[in-house]
A and B are shown apart, each in its own frame.
Chain A
Amino acid sequence: MGGHASQTGSVGRLRILGISAHYHDSAAALLIDGVPVCAVQEERLSRRKNDAAFPLAAIEWCLDFAGVQPEQLDAVVFYEKPMLKFERILTLALRGFPRSWPAFPQAMKNALGGKLWVKGIIASELGVRGDRILFAEHHRSHAAAAFLGAPSRNAAILTADGVGEWATLSMGRGSIAADGTASIELFRELRFPHSLGMLYSTFTAYLGFPVNEGEYKVMGLASYGQPSFAEQVRRIVRRTADGGFALDLDYFEFHEGARRSFSKKFVEVFGAPREPWDPLDPQSAEGARFADVAASVQLVLEEVLVDLARSLQRETGLDDLCFGGGVALNGCANARILRESGFRNLYVPSAPGDAGCALGAALYADRLHFRRPHRPVPDHPYWGPALEATDLARIALEDGLELEQIPREPDLIACAVDHLCAGRIVGWMQGRTEMGPRALGNRSILAAPHEAAMRDALNRSIKYREEFRPFAPAVPIEQADRFFQLPSGGARLGRFMSGVFPVHREWRSRLAAVTHVDGTARVQTVEASMAPRFHALLEAYGARTGIPVLLNTSFNLAGEPIVNRAVEGYSTFRRSGIDVLIAGETVVRKRRHDLARLEEAIA
């Protein structure tokens, strides 16, 4: 770890701020005495989706939340080493000469114009002394977020993403000794440009989706296709004798410039790419080709990951695997790893991508730089700002909407169940914002999961997104096996919606809104200890309908980050087809003529 902050062995009040920024999903996290206190992505505060800017608002919120002044911070840890990253950019530019030169000025401008001077930026923005600013390597931050945040004392670690400094994938193990001493050993790594994340992102771009955001769409589309291009994909992802893989760089251009990530040769093999504005209908011949390409890359990604995980299991002989990095957001691959790799448990944090590295870097500094004894990290994703619904009633009344305050929880839940049973779409805001890309019951849009028409209504009037993208179900953990085929350890993987599992055949027609075309669903298993009110809502809905499952999708509109404050939820509620907003104990309903007008506008 870079930097010179003093090593302390004493158990005192140690305040560590973790920061991730400058690539995508910047975030801040605060650790006090080794335990996370708060963490939030910048996008939730700035309202710019995937905001990559230096997360000043997130930092300020974290410090205010904990009542800490910047000068009181013992360390500020950045999640990667910018100079190492700069070295990689420079090396590849030189290696790729002359093809890399068109992109060279922009790359230099990006790096030298700010990204390289992170230490100075932190010092100048926060007023923190230079010797308190530390740097953790990117994949070590991922590894720390995955392992130190998981309920395991001895686990194998796998991280995979697009690229950090040089590493794109790393394998290792983590352990916590009886005295609480933590260790993370990453004994193997794969280096740029050989990257599973970049492979998937290249196909994402080829299929006309935005990189770093459209990867979910590739996974959703894959279910509509057959992996008829799998052999071609396997040819460009060559497996190596040491169990790793190497991309055939003739098919790619991402390592030489930012203009396009795939080459002419790639297009010769897979056909013309899809333009982002072209409609995509998997039933059409062209759409079916794109679906087949998506299915093929998904299959090969899964094969590579399963093989890597299997070899890691053989090497370590451990039962637990902690998986971090953006690739760990691929729920289909996660489910296959759990089923086929030999690990009994697979732990994926709620924010396995770069945002979670803010927390990972802080944990890494605490446990491995300062060598403080490990303390269990609370096993939930709710680290962001708490809901304050005080303004909501005033705004809703000013707008003349029907408003109700229901302070008693059973009554509030009964009210929500009434609306859901009546087929209404409910905006559900409770407690603190989730850390990570998924709404896990605190900033969610909920609906009855039974009819496919509900999925279409959500796509048409709220999410405005492609019809091939599935919606997720939430179910109480105790009843998950009744509806979904969960392998051993699957319920745990579903805690943060990190696995895709088959829906039992007999329930598919009654869970049509959340069952994907291939009969699977990205299940969230809800535990009462983690989300008591959400769990109670699911149970109450089950008591009324016999099926304790709700459709749970993130509370946002297309292109916007998930809502944070009650007023943002209210704004989304007014601009979309959400029928009812329940924020804390406040229930707001649209007027009938408002709904009719909105439906007319959408039509």
Chain B
Amino acid sequence: MIRRRGKMVRTLLLLGSAAPTIADGARSLWHTEGRKWMVPLVVFLCVTGLVLAVAASVEALAPFVYAIF
């Protein structure tokens, strides 16, 4: 049986794994010929996307989205 976790816990776990995911992606691009220039773009998009994903899933953070941007 899978233990259901609260939304906040799940969001925190998601956030916790995001940094390694982004780092893995950036590392892989860095080592790919001709793709180094994409690293800043990917990191920027990932971080922005993550903020939006978290804001969308945790209602309490939604009012601060405008402040962030």
Judged by a CB distance under 8 angstroms, whether B41 is at the interface is yes
Q: A86-B42, A112-B49 are in contact. Are A117 and B17 (CB under 8 A)?
A: yes
Number of chain B interface residues as a range: 20 to 34
Judged by a CB distance under 8 angstroms, whether A123 is at the interface is yes
Judged by a CB distance under 8 angstroms, whether B53 is at the interface is yes
B42: chain A residues at CB < 8 Å are 86-87, 90
Q: A91-B38, A108-B45, A124-B10 are in contact. Are A119 and B21 (CB under 8 A)?
A: yes
CA distance A64 to B2 in the complex (A): 9
Point out which of A56, A60, A87 has the most chain B C-beta atoms below 10 A from its C-beta. A87
A119 near B20: Cβ-Cβ < 8 Å: yes
17 contacts between A and B (CB under 8 A): A59-B2, A83-B28, A86-B42, A87-B25, A90-B38, A90-B41, A90-B45, A112-B45, A112-B48, A113-B49, A113-B52, A116-B21, A119-B21, A124-B10, A124-B14, A126-B2, A130-B17
A117 near B25: Cβ-Cβ < 8 Å: no
Point out which of A119, A120, A127 has the most chain B C-beta atoms below 10 A from its C-beta. A120
**Binary contact track A1-28/B, C-beta < 8 Å → 1, others 0:** 0100000000000000000000000000
B35: chain A residues at CB < 8 Å are 87
Query: How many residue pairs at the A-B interface have CB separations less than 8 Å?
Result: 85
A56: chain B residues at CB < 8 Å are 2
Q: Nearest Cβ in chain B — how far from A107, in angstroms? A: 11
Point out which of A63, A82, A125 has the most chain B C-beta atoms below 10 A from its C-beta. A125
**Binary contact track B1-30/A, C-beta < 8 Å → 1, others 0:** 111010001110111111011001100110
| B26, closest chain A residue (CB) | A83
Number of chain A interface residues as a range: 20 to 34
CA distance A127 to B5 in the complex (A): 9
CA distance A126 to B56 in the complex (A): 21
| A70, closest chain B residue (CB) | B2
CA distance A123 to B21 in the complex (A): 12
B52 near A112: Cβ-Cβ < 8 Å: yes
A60 near B1: Cβ-Cβ < 8 Å: yes
Q: A64-B1, A83-B28, A114-B53 are in contact. Are A120 and B16 (CB under 8 A)?
A: yes
B52 near A123: Cβ-Cβ < 8 Å: no
B2 near A108: Cβ-Cβ < 8 Å: no
Point out which of A70, A82, A117, A126 has the most chain B C-beta atoms below 10 A from its C-beta. A117
Q: A59-B2, A125-B2 are in contact. Are A117 and B21 (CB under 8 A)?
A: yes
Judged by a CB distance under 8 angstroms, whether A121 is at the interface is yes
CA distance A64 to B1 in the complex (A): 6
A116 near B49: Cβ-Cβ < 8 Å: yes
A108 near B49: Cβ-Cβ < 8 Å: yes
Q: Nearest Cβ in chain A — how far from B61, in angstroms? A: 15
Judged by a CB distance under 8 angstroms, whether A84 is at the interface is yes
CA distance A125 to B11 in the complex (A): 10
